[in-house]
Amino acid sequence: MIKNEIVFRPLKHHEISKFTEINRFERIEEIYYHRDNELIIEKEYYTIEQFSNINQDYLDVLTECYDNNGILIGAFEQHTDHIKLIGLGSMGGNVIKGTKDILQLEHLYINSSHRHQGVGKKIVSMLKDEAKRLGAKKLYVSSIPTKSSVDFYRSVGFELTMPIKELLELEPEDIHMGLVL
């Protein structure tokens, strides 16, 4: 089997809608809860499905990020007859309101068949480089509480952090983490 080449680069505006090519499917069996400044793991069973009828909402959010100086990094797999988006990471291009040097890693989606192959790590690494270039001292992420997501962010250096009030109110069940740059 020939492995297809993966190219990492910023998305162009007209490519944002390609996010629907990413197969998000994941079977969840454990999630984290942040209690008393500790991460507690509990069994919980559900699945995350492919993007569906909420595509327009995601498209609007990603487009708004792009239009407001955000950074969108894509991982593209080159096939013989087409190029497929298999990973996408986005980061706001402006500091989080009320902070002076913190940027938010807003989204990270990796195709289910490409997880645990370094795609997410490469995207986060590129976003970190962009954050440093923009003068940020810290990256902030509000991670869905699944074990796989939180463990991934921890593996690339994120740690529990004091939640930013406005972001905590938007996502109270998420695990709020920071990465010093």
Domains and CATH numbers, the chain: 6-180 (3.40.630.30)
The reported pTM is 0.93
For 92-116, the pLDDT digits (tens) are 999 999 899 999 999 999 999 999 9
The continuous run of DSSP H or E covering 59 comes out as: helix 55-67
Query: 68-91: b or e for each residue (b if 16 or more CB lie within 10 Å)?
Result: eebbbbbbbbeeeeebebbbbbbb
